[in-house]
Structure 1
Amino acid sequence: MLAGSIQSRAVKQQSLPLSSLLRPIPPVLDHRKIDSMVQTLQGATPDFIPTPAPESITPGHLPPVDVLHYHSEKDGKDFYFVFGGCHRMQAYEKAGVQMVDCKVLKVTRGMLKVYLGGSVDALVGEE
């Protein structure tokens, strides 16, 4: 199974609390896919396998989510942004899983602006 995206393939996997992951862009979701992932998290064989199908399905686990980590020098806070993996994130929430497997990439404020534009200031409390 591929472990994350091309950008994160060489990045070590770690677990982060679901509650610390920020998702600033509302997702468009396929609920059958989410239910399938919840079944996988619960160790069951999913009733539905989306296309394209994952390379392999490991009961109890989903592939890691790519996370962008921004550390604010201004106030020392850490921000963890998720822009992909929307179905996995919804499945974690629905299954009540507290820790999420992630591939964390450190980013600068300028890099975040590519994703968030001017709203980056409001989200990280900087100007």
Structure 2
Amino acid sequence: MSLPLVVDEVLQEVDNFSIHGNAVKDVYDVPMSAINRPIPSILDREKVENMKTILQIPDREKELTPIDVHHVQYQGKDYYFAFGGCHRWAANKELGRETIRAKLIDTPPSMISNYLGASSPFK
């Protein structure tokens, strides 16, 4: 099942880049319920609260860098994984948002298997 995604029309230049998403320009509103976060996060509560404040002010949401989401197509299905962006994820979740701004990185199943080992759904 492919997600109904909306591409941001305006992208800002940001100072902090990710190794995976640096070359990806399109930013989507991805349903949080579709994203698998297999690694538990250790959160700095102050960072989360600061991000929540930013997210609640109209037109400031784009100040936060989109999270990287690995998109895997496997046996006709779409899978979405996020390994970073834990503070942005927590802020969005705690605010009850249904979507999160993200860059989709096409990722082979073997790469997810490298990250997750025996816990990988791609065997």
> SS of the counterpart of 1:89?
helix
Q: Radius of gyration: which is bigger?
A: 1
| Higher mean displacement: 78-87 or 8-17 | 8-17
- How far does residue 63 in structure 1 lie from its aligned partner after superposition? 1.1
- Sequence identity, in percent? 37
Partner of 1:96: 96
- How far does residue 4 in structure 1 lie from its aligned partner after superposition? 4.3
Q: Tell me the matched-pair count.
A: 108
* TM-score where L is the length of structure 1: 0.77
RMSD over aligned Cα atoms: 1.8
Runs of 4+ in 1 over 3 A off after TM superposition: none
Partner of 1:68: 70
Change (3 A) 1:111 1:68: same
Change (3 A) 1:97 1:105: same
Partner of 1:110: 110
What is the CA deviation profile of residues 52-80 of structure 1, one whole-angstrom value per residue up to 9, with x for unaligned ones? xxxxxx7233210001111112xx22110
| Higher mean displacement: 93-102 or 80-89 | 93-102
Structure 1: gaps spanning 5 or more residues = 45-57
Structure 2: gaps spanning 5 or more residues = 1-13
Partner of 1:13: 27
